Structure 1
Amino acid sequence: MKRFSFSHGTVLTIILVLPAAILFGSDIAAASAGDPTDGFTEVPLKPSNIALQKPYDVPLDQRYSFIDGVHRMWVYSDDKPFSRHSDTQPRTEIRIAGLDYSSGVWQFEGHGYVPKGTSGATVAQIHGASHGATTLILRIYEPGEMRYYDTLHVAGDLYDTWFRLNIVHDVDGGMVTVFLNGEQKFQHHDEGPGDLYFKCGVYAAPADISHYMESRWKNIKIYRK
Protein backbone atom coordinates (compact mmCIF):
# COMPACT_ATOMS: atom_id res chain seq x y z
CA MET A 1 0.00 0.00 0.00
CA LYS A 2 1.50 3.36 -1.02
CA ARG A 3 2.03 5.84 1.76
CA PHE A 4 2.60 9.60 1.56
CA SER A 5 4.41 11.63 4.15
CA PHE A 6 4.79 15.39 4.44
CA SER A 7 8.24 16.91 4.64
CA HIS A 8 9.17 19.31 7.42
CA GLY A 9 7.84 22.80 6.82
CA THR A 10 5.02 21.85 4.47
CA VAL A 11 2.11 24.13 4.99
CA LEU A 12 0.76 23.87 2.72
CA THR A 13 -20.34 -2.33 1.87
CA ILE A 14 -22.25 -4.17 3.75
CA ILE A 15 -23.62 -2.21 6.68
CA LEU A 16 -23.86 -4.27 9.85
CA VAL A 17 -27.09 -3.95 11.79
CA LEU A 18 -25.74 -2.89 15.16
CA PRO A 19 -27.31 -2.84 18.61
CA ALA A 20 -29.02 0.44 19.43
CA ALA A 21 -26.53 1.08 22.24
CA ILE A 22 -23.73 1.33 19.71
CA LEU A 23 -25.78 3.13 17.10
CA PHE A 24 -26.56 5.88 19.55
CA GLY A 25 -23.26 6.37 21.22
CA SER A 26 -22.55 3.77 23.88
CA ASP A 27 -18.87 3.21 24.62
CA ILE A 28 -19.49 -0.54 24.49
CA ALA A 29 -17.49 -1.18 21.33
CA ALA A 30 -18.50 -3.60 18.64
CA ALA A 31 -15.96 -6.21 17.74
CA SER A 32 -14.27 -5.30 14.50
CA ALA A 33 -13.76 -7.92 11.84
CA GLY A 34 -10.42 -6.37 10.91
CA ASP A 35 -8.58 -3.15 10.39
CA PRO A 36 -10.89 -0.26 9.42
CA THR A 37 -8.89 0.28 6.23
CA ASP A 38 -9.30 -3.32 4.98
CA GLY A 39 -10.81 -3.26 1.51
CA PHE A 40 -10.02 0.42 0.97
CA THR A 41 -7.48 2.01 -1.36
CA GLU A 42 -5.35 4.86 -0.08
CA VAL A 43 -5.63 8.11 -2.03
CA PRO A 44 -2.15 9.70 -2.20
CA LEU A 45 -2.08 13.14 -0.59
CA LYS A 46 -0.15 16.08 -1.98
CA PRO A 47 0.89 19.18 -0.02
CA SER A 48 -1.87 21.06 -1.86
CA ASN A 49 -4.45 18.74 -0.27
CA ILE A 50 -3.56 20.15 3.17
CA ALA A 51 -5.29 23.53 3.32
CA LEU A 52 -5.04 25.49 6.55
CA GLN A 53 -7.64 27.78 8.06
CA LYS A 54 -6.74 30.08 10.97
CA PRO A 55 -7.86 33.40 12.49
CA TYR A 56 -7.59 35.93 9.70
CA ASP A 57 -5.73 38.58 11.67
CA VAL A 58 -2.73 36.57 12.94
CA PRO A 59 0.19 35.00 11.08
CA LEU A 60 -0.03 31.26 10.52
CA ASP A 61 2.98 30.49 12.70
CA GLN A 62 1.17 31.97 15.71
CA ARG A 63 -1.55 29.27 15.52
CA TYR A 64 0.14 26.37 13.68
CA SER A 65 3.39 24.43 13.53
CA PHE A 66 4.59 21.39 11.58
CA ILE A 67 7.55 19.67 13.24
CA ASP A 68 8.74 16.08 12.87
CA GLY A 69 5.59 15.11 11.01
CA VAL A 70 3.19 16.56 13.60
CA HIS A 71 0.65 19.25 12.72
CA ARG A 72 0.02 21.26 15.91
CA MET A 73 -2.96 23.62 15.84
CA TRP A 74 -4.22 25.90 18.58
CA VAL A 75 -6.73 28.71 18.99
CA TYR A 76 -8.12 31.00 21.69
CA SER A 77 -11.78 31.56 22.49
CA ASP A 78 -11.50 35.26 21.69
CA ASP A 79 -9.75 34.79 18.35
CA LYS A 80 -11.26 36.09 15.14
CA PRO A 81 -12.88 33.71 12.60
CA PHE A 82 -10.99 32.45 9.55
CA SER A 83 -12.41 35.19 7.34
CA ARG A 84 -13.14 38.85 7.99
CA HIS A 85 -16.66 38.35 6.62
CA SER A 86 -17.41 35.15 8.55
CA ASP A 87 -19.52 34.97 11.71
CA THR A 88 -18.25 31.49 12.67
CA GLN A 89 -16.33 30.50 15.79
CA PRO A 90 -12.51 30.65 15.98
CA ARG A 91 -10.62 27.79 14.37
CA THR A 92 -7.26 26.48 13.29
CA GLU A 93 -8.00 23.52 11.07
CA ILE A 94 -6.71 21.37 8.24
CA ARG A 95 -9.23 21.10 5.45
CA ILE A 96 -8.62 18.19 3.10
CA ALA A 97 -8.79 20.11 -0.17
CA GLY A 98 -9.20 18.77 -3.67
CA LEU A 99 -10.77 15.52 -2.47
CA ASP A 100 -14.39 16.57 -1.99
CA TYR A 101 -16.86 13.74 -2.50
CA SER A 102 -20.61 13.27 -2.93
CA SER A 103 -21.00 9.50 -3.32
CA GLY A 104 -19.22 6.24 -2.59
CA VAL A 105 -17.41 5.17 0.58
CA TRP A 106 -14.61 7.38 1.90
CA GLN A 107 -12.43 7.22 4.98
CA PHE A 108 -10.31 9.63 7.00
CA GLU A 109 -7.47 8.32 9.14
CA GLY A 110 -5.20 10.26 11.45
CA HIS A 111 -3.42 10.01 14.77
CA GLY A 112 -4.66 12.72 17.10
CA TYR A 113 -3.56 14.15 20.44
CA VAL A 114 -5.52 16.57 22.66
CA PRO A 115 -3.83 18.13 25.70
CA LYS A 116 -5.64 18.28 29.02
CA GLY A 117 -7.69 21.44 29.41
CA THR A 118 -8.97 21.69 25.86
CA SER A 119 -12.76 21.59 26.05
CA GLY A 120 -15.61 22.33 23.67
CA ALA A 121 -13.39 21.99 20.61
CA THR A 122 -14.26 20.14 17.43
CA VAL A 123 -11.19 18.09 16.56
CA ALA A 124 -12.51 16.27 13.47
CA GLN A 125 -15.48 16.68 11.19
CA ILE A 126 -17.12 15.89 7.88
CA HIS A 127 -18.22 19.17 6.37
CA GLY A 128 -21.24 19.30 4.11
CA ALA A 129 -24.70 17.72 4.18
CA SER A 130 -28.14 17.94 2.62
CA HIS A 131 -29.46 19.27 5.93
CA GLY A 132 -27.19 21.66 7.83
CA ALA A 133 -23.53 22.51 7.39
CA THR A 134 -21.96 19.28 8.64
CA THR A 135 -22.41 15.51 8.51
CA LEU A 136 -20.26 14.69 11.55
CA ILE A 137 -18.75 16.70 14.38
CA LEU A 138 -16.43 15.08 16.94
CA ARG A 139 -15.77 17.32 19.94
CA ILE A 140 -13.60 16.95 23.00
CA TYR A 141 -14.98 17.99 26.40
CA GLU A 142 -13.55 17.72 29.90
CA PRO A 143 -12.43 15.26 31.20
CA GLY A 144 -11.18 14.10 27.78
CA GLU A 145 -14.51 12.82 26.46
CA MET A 146 -15.21 12.69 22.73
CA ARG A 147 -18.83 13.42 21.78
CA TYR A 148 -20.91 13.46 18.63
CA TYR A 149 -21.60 17.19 18.48
CA ASP A 150 -22.29 18.13 22.14
CA THR A 151 -24.52 15.17 23.01
CA LEU A 152 -23.78 11.50 22.33
CA HIS A 153 -20.79 9.85 23.96
CA VAL A 154 -18.22 8.36 21.60
CA ALA A 155 -15.18 7.65 23.82
CA GLY A 156 -13.40 8.81 26.98
CA ASP A 157 -9.95 9.23 28.51
CA LEU A 158 -8.46 10.87 25.44
CA TYR A 159 -6.41 13.63 27.08
CA ASP A 160 -2.64 13.57 26.71
CA THR A 161 -2.47 10.39 24.64
CA TRP A 162 -2.11 9.64 20.96
CA PHE A 163 -5.15 7.91 19.45
CA ARG A 164 -5.81 6.58 15.98
CA LEU A 165 -9.05 7.93 14.53
CA ASN A 166 -10.77 6.42 11.50
CA ILE A 167 -14.00 7.90 10.12
CA VAL A 168 -15.80 5.88 7.44
CA HIS A 169 -18.54 7.62 5.47
CA ASP A 170 -20.77 5.41 3.31
CA VAL A 171 -22.60 8.15 1.43
CA ASP A 172 -24.86 5.86 -0.59
CA GLY A 173 -25.71 3.85 2.53
CA GLY A 174 -26.23 7.03 4.56
CA MET A 175 -24.01 5.96 7.46
CA VAL A 176 -20.96 7.27 9.32
CA THR A 177 -18.83 4.96 11.48
CA VAL A 178 -16.10 6.03 13.91
CA PHE A 179 -13.20 3.84 15.02
CA LEU A 180 -10.68 4.64 17.74
CA ASN A 181 -7.46 2.64 17.88
CA GLY A 182 -8.95 0.18 15.40
CA GLU A 183 -12.09 -0.45 17.46
CA GLN A 184 -15.56 0.59 16.35
CA LYS A 185 -16.94 3.09 18.83
CA PHE A 186 -19.84 4.84 17.15
CA GLN A 187 -22.19 4.68 14.18
CA HIS A 188 -24.88 7.09 13.10
CA HIS A 189 -26.99 8.00 10.10
CA ASP A 190 -25.54 10.87 8.11
CA GLU A 191 -27.32 14.08 7.11
CA GLY A 192 -27.73 13.29 3.42
CA PRO A 193 -25.37 13.76 0.48
CA GLY A 194 -23.70 17.04 -0.32
CA ASP A 195 -20.34 18.58 -1.17
CA LEU A 196 -18.40 16.66 1.48
CA TYR A 197 -14.86 16.85 2.83
CA PHE A 198 -12.87 15.96 5.95
CA LYS A 199 -11.30 18.36 8.46
CA CYS A 200 -9.23 18.08 11.63
CA GLY A 201 -7.73 20.53 14.10
CA VAL A 202 -9.53 22.76 16.59
CA TYR A 203 -12.79 24.60 15.96
CA ALA A 204 -14.53 26.19 18.93
CA ALA A 205 -18.07 25.07 19.77
CA PRO A 206 -20.77 27.73 20.16
CA ALA A 207 -20.72 27.38 23.99
CA ASP A 208 -18.89 25.81 26.96
CA ILE A 209 -15.40 26.16 25.56
CA SER A 210 -12.04 26.56 27.22
CA HIS A 211 -10.04 29.72 26.59
CA TYR A 212 -7.19 27.74 24.99
CA MET A 213 -7.84 24.82 22.63
CA GLU A 214 -5.29 22.60 20.90
CA SER A 215 -5.00 19.36 18.97
CA ARG A 216 -2.15 17.66 17.13
CA TRP A 217 -2.34 15.39 14.11
CA LYS A 218 0.03 13.12 12.24
CA ASN A 219 -0.14 10.29 9.68
CA ILE A 220 -3.16 11.82 7.99
CA LYS A 221 -4.50 9.62 5.19
CA ILE A 222 -7.57 9.40 2.98
CA TYR A 223 -8.99 6.12 1.63
CA ARG A 224 -11.86 5.21 -0.64
CA LYS A 225 -13.69 2.17 -2.04
Structure 2
Amino acid sequence: MGTLAAAGGSGNPTAGFQKVQLADGDFQVQSPYNVPESQRFQYRNGGHDYSSGLWQFEGYGYVPSGTSGVSVMQIHNEEGAAHSTVLMLHVYNGVLRFYSGVVIEPNIYDRLFRLNVMHDVGASTVAVYVDGEHKFSTSVTPSKSYY
Protein backbone atom coordinates (compact mmCIF):
# COMPACT_ATOMS: atom_id res chain seq x y z
CA MET A 1 0.00 0.00 0.00
CA GLY A 2 2.94 2.35 0.45
CA THR A 3 3.27 2.79 -3.32
CA LEU A 4 -0.35 3.86 -3.70
CA ALA A 5 -0.21 6.32 -0.83
CA ALA A 6 3.05 7.82 -2.03
CA ALA A 7 1.72 8.21 -5.57
CA GLY A 8 -1.16 10.37 -4.39
CA GLY A 9 0.98 12.99 -2.69
CA SER A 10 -0.47 15.41 -0.19
CA GLY A 11 -4.19 15.02 -0.74
CA ASN A 12 -3.97 14.91 -4.55
CA PRO A 13 -4.49 11.36 -5.81
CA THR A 14 -3.59 12.43 -9.38
CA ALA A 15 -0.11 13.78 -8.54
CA GLY A 16 2.63 12.08 -10.54
CA PHE A 17 0.36 10.33 -13.05
CA GLN A 18 0.39 10.82 -16.82
CA LYS A 19 -3.01 11.73 -18.27
CA VAL A 20 -4.43 9.21 -20.79
CA GLN A 21 -7.32 10.56 -22.85
CA LEU A 22 -10.38 8.47 -23.81
CA ALA A 23 -12.88 8.93 -26.85
CA ASP A 24 -16.50 10.21 -27.20
CA GLY A 25 -17.90 7.11 -28.93
CA ASP A 26 -17.37 4.93 -25.86
CA PHE A 27 -19.52 7.00 -23.48
CA GLN A 28 -23.25 7.09 -23.03
CA VAL A 29 -24.01 10.34 -21.24
CA GLN A 30 -26.94 10.21 -18.88
CA SER A 31 -29.02 12.91 -17.23
CA PRO A 32 -29.69 14.78 -15.02
CA TYR A 33 -26.95 17.36 -14.91
CA ASN A 34 -26.86 21.08 -15.61
CA VAL A 35 -23.55 21.43 -17.47
CA PRO A 36 -23.30 20.84 -21.26
CA GLU A 37 -21.84 17.48 -22.29
CA SER A 38 -18.91 19.25 -23.99
CA GLN A 39 -17.79 20.48 -20.56
CA ARG A 40 -18.39 17.19 -18.74
CA PHE A 41 -15.99 14.72 -20.37
CA GLN A 42 -13.62 13.86 -23.21
CA TYR A 43 -12.96 10.47 -24.75
CA ARG A 44 -10.18 9.94 -27.31
CA ASN A 45 -8.08 7.05 -28.65
CA GLY A 46 -10.34 4.15 -27.55
CA GLY A 47 -9.87 1.83 -24.57
CA HIS A 48 -6.61 0.84 -22.96
CA ASP A 49 -5.37 -2.61 -22.03
CA TYR A 50 -2.48 -2.78 -19.59
CA SER A 51 -0.39 -5.43 -17.86
CA SER A 52 2.02 -3.52 -15.60
CA GLY A 53 2.54 -0.28 -13.76
CA LEU A 54 0.55 1.96 -11.47
CA TRP A 55 -2.64 3.25 -13.12
CA GLN A 56 -4.91 5.99 -11.88
CA PHE A 57 -8.43 6.48 -13.25
CA GLU A 58 -10.36 9.68 -12.60
CA GLY A 59 -13.93 10.63 -13.38
CA TYR A 60 -16.84 12.64 -12.12
CA GLY A 61 -20.19 11.06 -11.39
CA TYR A 62 -23.72 11.88 -10.38
CA VAL A 63 -26.18 9.24 -9.20
CA PRO A 64 -29.79 10.44 -8.89
CA SER A 65 -31.80 9.28 -5.87
CA GLY A 66 -33.81 6.16 -6.53
CA THR A 67 -31.05 4.61 -8.66
CA SER A 68 -29.89 1.26 -7.32
CA GLY A 69 -27.67 -1.52 -8.64
CA VAL A 70 -25.79 0.77 -11.03
CA SER A 71 -22.10 0.17 -11.69
CA VAL A 72 -20.01 3.33 -11.45
CA MET A 73 -16.55 1.91 -12.31
CA GLN A 74 -15.00 -1.45 -13.20
CA ILE A 75 -11.55 -2.91 -13.84
CA HIS A 76 -11.72 -6.10 -15.90
CA ASN A 77 -9.27 -9.00 -15.99
CA GLU A 78 -7.97 -10.56 -19.18
CA GLU A 79 -10.50 -12.53 -21.21
CA GLY A 80 -10.84 -16.08 -19.88
CA ALA A 81 -9.57 -15.28 -16.36
CA ALA A 82 -11.16 -17.09 -13.42
CA HIS A 83 -12.71 -13.80 -12.26
CA SER A 84 -13.92 -11.26 -14.80
CA THR A 85 -13.14 -8.20 -12.66
CA VAL A 86 -10.76 -7.07 -9.91
CA LEU A 87 -12.88 -4.05 -9.00
CA MET A 88 -16.52 -3.08 -9.36
CA LEU A 89 -18.00 -0.04 -7.64
CA HIS A 90 -21.79 -0.23 -7.38
CA VAL A 91 -24.46 2.00 -5.87
CA TYR A 92 -27.15 0.32 -3.78
CA ASN A 93 -29.75 2.52 -2.08
CA GLY A 94 -27.53 5.61 -2.13
CA VAL A 95 -24.39 3.83 -0.88
CA LEU A 96 -21.29 3.39 -3.06
CA ARG A 97 -19.86 -0.10 -2.41
CA PHE A 98 -16.96 -2.32 -3.43
CA TYR A 99 -18.97 -4.98 -5.30
CA SER A 100 -21.98 -5.39 -2.98
CA GLY A 101 -19.98 -5.36 0.26
CA VAL A 102 -17.65 -2.77 1.79
CA VAL A 103 -19.07 0.75 2.02
CA ILE A 104 -16.92 3.25 0.09
CA GLU A 105 -19.16 6.35 0.42
CA PRO A 106 -22.42 6.24 2.43
CA ASN A 107 -24.26 9.18 0.79
CA ILE A 108 -23.62 9.26 -2.95
CA TYR A 109 -27.08 10.32 -4.22
CA ASP A 110 -27.87 13.68 -5.82
CA ARG A 111 -24.40 15.22 -5.81
CA LEU A 112 -21.50 15.55 -8.19
CA PHE A 113 -18.51 13.54 -6.93
CA ARG A 114 -14.94 12.97 -8.13
CA LEU A 115 -13.84 9.34 -8.21
CA ASN A 116 -10.18 8.29 -8.39
CA VAL A 117 -9.14 4.64 -8.49
CA MET A 118 -5.50 3.54 -8.42
CA HIS A 119 -4.49 0.09 -9.56
CA ASP A 120 -0.95 -1.03 -8.72
CA VAL A 121 -0.54 -4.05 -10.98
CA GLY A 122 2.78 -5.20 -9.48
CA ALA A 123 1.48 -5.06 -5.91
CA SER A 124 -1.99 -6.40 -6.91
CA THR A 125 -3.76 -3.61 -5.03
CA VAL A 126 -6.45 -1.02 -5.70
CA ALA A 127 -7.21 2.20 -3.81
CA VAL A 128 -10.39 4.27 -4.07
CA TYR A 129 -10.70 8.03 -3.44
CA VAL A 130 -13.91 10.06 -3.37
CA ASP A 131 -13.57 13.84 -3.65
CA GLY A 132 -9.82 13.53 -3.01
CA GLU A 133 -10.25 11.55 0.22
CA HIS A 134 -8.87 8.01 0.50
CA LYS A 135 -11.82 5.72 1.24
CA PHE A 136 -10.70 2.15 0.61
CA SER A 137 -7.76 -0.08 -0.36
CA THR A 138 -7.54 -3.81 -0.89
CA SER A 139 -5.50 -6.57 -2.49
CA VAL A 140 -6.87 -7.99 -5.74
CA THR A 141 -6.41 -11.23 -7.66
CA PRO A 142 -3.55 -10.86 -10.16
CA SER A 143 -4.17 -11.24 -13.90
CA LYS A 144 -1.96 -11.16 -17.02
CA SER A 145 -3.73 -8.04 -18.31
CA TYR A 146 -6.54 -5.62 -17.47
CA TYR A 147 -8.91 -3.21 -19.17
TM-score above 0.5, yes or no: yes
Q: Which AA in structure 2 matches 1:125?
A: Q
- Counterparts of 2:4 and 2:58 in 1: how far apart (Å)? 19
Which residue number corresponds to residue 145 of structure 1?
A: 95
Distance verdict in 2 for CA 1:176–1:46, change over 3 Å: closer
What letter is aligned with 2:23?
Answer: P
Q: CA deviation at 1:46?
A: 5.0
Determine the C-alpha separation between the residues in 1 that align with 2:12 and 2:4.
16
Query: Could you tell me the percent identity over the aligned residues?
Result: 39
Aligned to 1:154, the other structure's residue is in SS state strand
One-letter amino acid matched to 1:67: E
Q: 2:76 maps to what in 1?
A: 127
The residue number in structure 2 matching 1:162 is 112
Deviation of 1:15 (Å): 4.8
**Match in the other structure for 1:185:** 135
Judged with a 3 Å threshold, the aligned counterparts in structure 2 of structure 1 residues 182 and 15 are, in CA distance, closer, same or farther, namely closer
Q: Structure 2, unaligned stretches of length 5 or more?
A: none
Q: Structure 1, residues 54-107: CA drift from partner, whole Å, max 9, x if none?
A: xxxxxx8xx857734347xxxxxxxxxxxxxxxxxxxxxx9x933111111111
Contact 1:125–1:134 (CA under 8 A) maintained in structure 2? yes
**Aligned residue in 2 for 1:23:** none
| 1:68–1:185 Cα change, 3 Å | same
Please say if residues 100 and 195 of structure 1, whose CA atoms lie closer than 8 Å, have aligned partners that are also in contact.
yes
Structure 1 residue 191, shift from structure 2 partner: 1.8
User: Closer, same or farther in 2 for the Cα pair 1:141/1:183, shift >3 Å?
Assistant: same
Task: Please report how far the alpha carbon of residue 131 of structure 1 lies from its aligned counterpart in structure 2 after TM superposition.
Answer: 3.4
1:61-210 equivalent positions in 2, closer than 5 A: 67-70=37-40, 97-128=46-77, 130-142=81-93, 144-197=94-147
Higher Rg: 1
Q: Over residues 122-171 of structure 1, what are the superposed CA-to-partner deviations in whole Å (9 max), with x where a residue is unaligned?
A: 111111155300010000011x1011111111111110000000000000
Which structure shows the bigger proportion of residues in strand conformation?
A: 1
Instruction: Confirm or deny that 1:41 pairs with 2:18.
Output: yes
5+ unaligned residues in a row in structure 1: which ranges? 1-12, 17-31, 53-59, 72-93, 198-225
The CA distance in 1 between the partners of 2:23 and 2:51, in whole Å, is 22
Change (3 A) 1:97 1:193: farther
Aligned length: 135
- Does 2:3 correspond to 1:14? yes
